[in-house]
Amino acid sequence: KKTDIGLIGLAVMGENLALNMESRGWNVSVYNRTVPGIEEGVVDRFVAGRAKGKNIQGYTEIADFVASIKAPRKIMMMVRAGSPVDQLMEQLFPHLSTGDILIDGGNSNFEDTERRVKLAESKGFRFVGAGVSGGEEGALNGAAIMPGGTKSAWEEVKPVLQSIAAKAKDGMPCCDWVGPGGSGHFVKMIHNGIEYGDMQLISESYWVLRNLLGLSNEELSKVFSKWNEGRLSSYLIEITANILKHKDKDGEYLIDKILDTAGQKGTGKWSVINAMELGMPLGLIASAVFERSLSSNKEVRVEASKLFHEDKEKSLYNKADMIEDVESALYASKLVSYAQGFAVLQKASDEFNWDLNLASIARMWREGCIIRSVFLNDIAAAFEAEDKPKHLLFAPYFKAEIEQMLFGWKHLVSHALKEEMPIPAFSSALNYFYSLTSSSLPANMIQAQRDYFGAHTFERVDQPRGEFFHENWTGHGGDTKSGTYNV
């Protein structure tokens, strides 16, 4: 009997997704390459192990694997992002029939997905680039899945993908069609960037309360648990509370023994690079990425701390007030980060003609993924309002929230900076908020400088927009404008 779907790549994500599919009533064919020198017997081990007695058929030959699946075939690839996906596609193509669907569930670069959609379609196949979030646990029990690519594939893959997706509290699956081309992977990339920002903001909150207020790990854990009951309620706040009270085998807190050098796999960096390409500010996520880089250079930090450290009395800040102000700084900065992230999504949508539905994207992130939170309901509601806001911070609900939190947020930021406490994400968010809400900025000076040294021209406040002027600043520069030289 032919199976409903095929899955390639039996590492942690693939294995768990296959089991998830089977548990929802689908018959699954699985395949993993068998390459001498690389771990062999992966398929046999899975079929005889976790997949034993289940409706999962294992294959070690790609032709047999493809032939075992019902037409039009749906084949999900869960292999390492990059060239493995291209190699695998080349191996699959000769065995596919017109209309067959390839789904790439890995963390692929959206530009690669754009190219692969075109390539697959040029051969008569269909291609879906689906961002999958939620790690091992999400893969097994319900992930957030963000599919995009060949539109006609959606009706075919929807029942399977929605069945293995997490369900929000209102029952909606955290998986819906995102748009054409590489849009699914673009949305997943921004999701991961936002994850970087959230983690940095939580780390700053922890650090300020630990070092400026001297809270113990137990007390900190209680603060985060309490926050998890309110508007900050989210997976990352919940696990932070658990991490803080977790003890090592010797009874000491494990968090105090973990080396303070953060790793990264690159999706935060990609988000920032693509925001820059689109000419959009994504400063909070950028500060989170840069702070991870700075943290990883521990030797330099240790040396610098000896050169510049100054011991001084801490100034006073009422305990209850500081806890409340850190919560305000955390929430307001998080709001700025999401506003920036969604603005990048909107710009990408306009630029690439994706017609993204921002409310639907917010809803897809409500469960299953790392950034799941109650806050995403409010974001979806804001984007769904009849009078759709130009910017998330303009939505009446969020405007009121910011107004309420601004005092505590700026008080906390200025205090922490005076106390020499690094809070790059809190302060980046506040600076963004100040710039965004300034009808005038010193960019007139930048334009003057650009025109002075490079004849780049400027617009004038006393002339219509779109008219460009050049000044002969030094009296000997001439009147020639630059057409090509851009800095």
Residues lying near ligand NBP in the complex (CB under 6 A) are found at 9-14, 32-33, 35, 38-39, 42, 78-81, 84, 87-88, 106-107, 132-133, 135-136
Evaluate whether 136 touches 12 at the Cβ level (below 8 Å). yes
> What are the C-alpha distances in Å from 25 to residues 29, 177, 380?
13, 22, 31
Comparing CA positions, the residue from 74, 73, 137, 84 lying closest to residue 106 is 84
Q: Tell me whether residue 32 is annotated as binding.
A: yes
Q: What is the closest distance, in whole angstroms, from the C-beta atom of residue 314 to ligand NBP in the complex?
A: 40
**Cα–Cα dist 355/126, whole Å:** 20
Q: What is the closest distance, in whole angstroms, from the C-beta atom of residue 19 to ligand NBP in the complex?
A: 13
Q: Is 22 one of the catalytic residues?
A: no
Q: Which residues of 31-49 are buried (b: 16+ CB within 10 A; e: fewer)?
A: bbbeeeeeeeebbebbbee
Which CB atom, from 11 or from 374, has the smaller least distance to ligand NBP?
11
Q: Tell me whether residue 34 is annotated as binding.
A: yes
**Cα–Cα dist 249/202, whole Å:** 26
Which CB atom, from 9 or from 58, has the smaller least distance to ligand NBP?
9
Q: Tell me whether residue 292 is annotated as binding.
A: yes
Q: Tell me whether residue 279 is annotated as binding.
A: no
Q: What is the closest distance, in whole angstroms, from the C-beta atom of residue 90 to ligand NBP in the complex?
A: 10
Which residue number has the CB closest to ligand NBP? 106
| SS3 sequence of 232-282 | CCEHHHHHHHHHHHCECCCCCEHHHHCCCCCCCCCHHHHHHHHHHHCCCCC
Q: What is the closest distance, in whole angstroms, from the C-beta atom of residue 366 to ligand NBP in the complex?
A: 17
Containing H/E element for 30? strand 28-31
Q: What is the closest distance, in whole angstroms, from the C-beta atom of residue 125 to ligand NBP in the complex?
A: 18
- Dihedral over alpha carbons 90, 95, 97, 103 (to 10 degrees): -50
Q: Tell me whether residue 9 is annotated as binding.
A: yes
Catalytic option among 156, 195, 367, 401: 195
Structure tokens of 77?
A: 């690839």
**Cα–Cα dist 476/305, whole Å:** 49
Which CB atom, from 367 or from 378, has the smaller least distance to ligand NBP?
367
DSSP 152: G
Q: Tell me whether residue 450 is annotated as binding.
A: yes
Which CB atom, from 81 or from 381, has the smaller least distance to ligand NBP?
81
Q: Are strands 28-31 and 101-104 parallel, antiparallel or unpaired?
A: unpaired
Which residues, including other chains, have CB under 8 Å from residue 147's CB and lie 6 or more apart?
103, 128, 129, 130, 131, 154, 157, 161, 175, 177, 178, 184
Q: What is the closest distance, in whole angstroms, from the C-beta atom of residue 373 to ligand NBP in the complex?
A: 18
Q: Tell me whether residue 231 is annotated as binding.
A: no
Which CB atom, from 10 or from 96, has the smaller least distance to ligand NBP?
10
Catalytic option among 188, 269, 334, 410: 188
Q: Tell me whether residue 431 is annotated as binding.
A: no
Which CB atom, from 8 or from 339, has the smaller least distance to ligand NBP?
8
Distance from chain centroid for Cα 366: 13
- 462 — phi, psi (to 5°)? -100, 10
Dihedral-angle region of residue 79 (phi above 0 means left; psi in -120 to 50 means alpha; beta otherwise): beta
Q: Tell me whether residue 484 is annotated as binding.
A: no
Neighbouring CB atoms inside 10 A of 310's CB total: 5
Q: What is the closest distance, in whole angstroms, from the C-beta atom of residue 16 to ligand NBP in the complex?
A: 8
Apex CA 270: angle with CA 264 and CA 276, to 5°? 135
Q: Tell me whether residue 236 is annotated as binding.
A: no
Q: Is 54 one of the catalytic residues?
A: no
Which CB atom, from 29 or from 287, has the smaller least distance to ligand NBP?
29
> What are the C-alpha distances in Å from 439 to residues 327, 410, 467?
28, 20, 20
Q: Tell me whether residue 391 is annotated as binding.
A: no
Which CB atom, from 144 or from 212, has the smaller least distance to ligand NBP?
144
Q: Which residues pair with 58 in a beta bridge?
A: 30
Maximal CA-CA distance, the chain: 87
> Which residues define the annotated binding site?
9-14, 32-34, 79-81, 107, 133-135, 191-192, 196, 265, 292, 450, 456
Q: Looking at the annotation, which residues are catalytic? A: 188, 195
> Which residues define the annotated binding site for NADP(+)?
9-14, 32-34, 79-81, 107
> Which residues define the annotated binding site for substrate?
107, 133-135, 191-192, 196, 265, 292, 450, 456
